[in-house]
Chain A
């Protein structure tokens, strides 16, 4: 194998895929990046066995071939070279020689056949939507994913697909977030897949807010997303997601309309004196006066009052302030609509400018 390439052309793809290389590796091959060259292109692959990232560079190569090199070291070398420098990589026995002007590096290699790269997928469904659409369903919901829950199917984001569009749902059992994009997908059957937490975080890092098209393919065990020159593949979580439609309440009679920013700041103020572990906060609704109360084990108390538009019943409800703040941070809308039933039922949060996202927060007994 032999290739020569501009430093910048190599650096960017390397930075894009480095996220899949884990620092703490049990298998030596996984700290390496797989480099495959054919006459027209170079592809770089990194994996941690849960997600795989492949970046393709269109570049003539001198001699086709494949090998694996230490990913972090190669990246550090490329970073340290000056802008516009030319890099050449060639293989000499079991070492890779990386050369750039008057610097020369000899890196240890491992055989490409030992690298656990994915085999060709056989997609069950494939469709395409714009980057913005895909990024928005992820960003609006991902914060509600569970972390290391024993109900392993909650440690990821559910994509529920049908011909109308794509829905994303995340829940940790205490709160749920739901977002949909009606994109008119070219698929015939409905499908649900759960993508693990790590894959979702990596995806949201890779996606940009623009109207470029991403191609998504779902196979029995994997989801593959093609973004520009990058192919992202993640394993799926092998489990059944709970029926989320039963969790989302109907719009209740008691609707609280309030300025998002004001409400957020009031919550932050009141939360200072809430129990550090449970983060409980009490919301008292009484006509146009909204009260937030919190107290902690040291018998310290906070009392914050707000003015808002509320005509419903008098309600006193407790909830985890962090859950509410997460929801308020997921939008940039001016107003927020909180619809309540009574103090024992979950509340539904929505934004007037976004009909397609719904947030459910379970109440807390305080």
Chain B
């Protein structure tokens, strides 16, 4: 449990003490704020045989929980990132939830990335979500609650997990020994766990590569060498960082050099780039990028997709 989650914990604990704990919860909030970790940690506490504010860590329940063999803890998540949660998985969950608990206490089921429930699995879940057997608690974890069926949403008590205060997030990043914590936090829009991920992975390098390509394109470089460069970067990273840069360019364009932007470390470069493009063209690029991101689960021809993107960027820079 992260230290910016004490409010949520206390809120849940109060309901538990008052005997008003709901049977269905929806943890919502942006990616990288530690909702999943909180859900698992709180499930451990709900199952723990001691009645402290947090799981004791040494009772039998906590032991088997740590070994991932807790019989009354059920966990469902999409098999692969971006894949739907199949209806069979939910049906199996429902069967398990109709049985009595093994340790005689509560049964806790967590559904991660609940927005990935497809129409069938979401509908299969409704009956159980509305009226589970006594002592059963269902927790849906979801970064995009508006994508859930309204019938699912209305059956759950929603608990928000907003981006933590900057100081708390920075404190956490410093604990993890991350240099340039502030920049990474900025790049992750304030989500500390995403910041850790960016700092520890190739994402930061890929950001620089994407930026380099954009700079060259803005200076009039031809498409084909740019294509060779951009193909080396994973498509998801290209799209994500391009959207980010595009947003920043729009901000600079509309608010001037002092605009509140994400990529603070490259403000000069962005200002220069912004000077040689039209805001309408940037909106056009952004629309295309969002459209492509939506289609990221469909196997499109990557080369065509990237060419299309580069042409649009090039035209945007030409219009000034």
Contact = CB atoms under 8 A, between A and B. Distances in A.
A327 interface: no
Nearest to A235: B99
B102 A150 contact: no
Contacts of A237: 98-100
A22 to B, nearest CB: 12
Contacts of B70: 116
B71 interface: yes
A239 B69 contact: no
Interface in A60-116: 111, 113-116
B67 A113 contact: yes
B300 interface: no
Interface residue SS majority, chain B: loop
Contact of B98 (A30, A221, A222, A239): A239
Given A148-B91, A152-B94, A239-B133, A221 B67 contact: no
A356 interface: no
Given A49-B102, A50-B99, A114 B63 contact: yes
A116 B99 contact: no
Given A114-B69, A150-B127, A152-B94, A221 B102 contact: yes
Interface residues of A, number: 28
A29 B100 contact: no
B69 A29 contact: yes
Nearest to B100: A221
- Which of B64, B71, B100, B134 neighbours the largest number of chain A CB atoms within 10 Å of its CB? B100
Given A116-B70, A196-B99, A239-B98, A220 B104 contact: yes
A119 interface: yes
Interface string A337-349: 0000000000000
Contacts of A119: 60, 103-104
Contacts of B101: 221, 235
A164 interface: no
A238 interface: yes
Given A236-B100, A238-B98, A238-B133, A116 B64 contact: yes
B71 A116 contact: yes
B104 A235 contact: no
Interface string A267-288: 0000000000000000000000
Given A27-B69, A30-B69, A152 B102 contact: no
B304 interface: no
A325 interface: no
A330 interface: no
Interface residues of B, number: 22
A222 B72 CA distance: 14
A118 interface: yes
- Which of A116, A155, A239 neighbours the largest number of chain B CB atoms within 10 Å of its CB? A116
Contacts of B64: 113-116
Given A119-B60, A238-B133, A152 B67 contact: no
B87 to A, nearest CB: 12
Contacts of B134: 238
Contact of B69 (A50, A116, A153, A221): A116
Contact of A49 (B63, B67, B71): B71
Contacts of B71: 47, 49, 116
Nearest to A118: B102
A304 B69 CA distance: 57
Contact of A114 (B67, B91, B96): B67
Interface string A312-337: 00000000000000000000000000
Contacts of A47: 71
Contacts of A222: 100
B100 A235 contact: yes
Interface string B95-120: 11011111110000000000000000
A253 B39 CA distance: 62
Interface string B231-271: 00000000000000000000000000000000000000000
A78 B293 CA distance: 56
B102 A235 contact: yes
B291 interface: no
B99 A238 contact: yes
Given A150-B127, A152-B95, A238-B134, A115 B100 contact: no
A221 B104 contact: yes
Contacts of B67: 29, 111, 113-114
B60 A148 contact: no
Nearest to B63: A113
B68 interface: yes
B69 A152 contact: no
A201 B141 CA distance: 36
A286 B127 CA distance: 47
Contacts of B91: 148
Interface string B150-171: 0000000000000000000000
A116 B63 CA distance: 10
Interface in B47-61: 60
A29 B95 CA distance: 21
B68 A27 contact: yes
Given A116-B69, A152-B94, A239-B133, 15 more contacts: A30-B69, A47-B71, A49-B102, A50-B96, A111-B67, A114-B64, A116-B71, A148-B91, A196-B99, A220-B104, A221-B102, A235-B101, A235-B102, A236-B99, A238-B134
11 contacts: A50-B99, A114-B63, A115-B69, A148-B91, A150-B127, A152-B95, A153-B98, A221-B100, A236-B99, A237-B100, A238-B99
Interface of A: 27, 29-30, 47, 49-50, 111, 113-116, 118-119, 148, 150, 152-153, 155, 196, 219-222, 235-239
Counting from the closest, the 10 A-B pairs by CB-CB distance are A114-B67, A152-B98, A221-B100, A238-B133, A235-B99, A29-B69, A49-B71, A116-B71, A116-B69, A236-B100
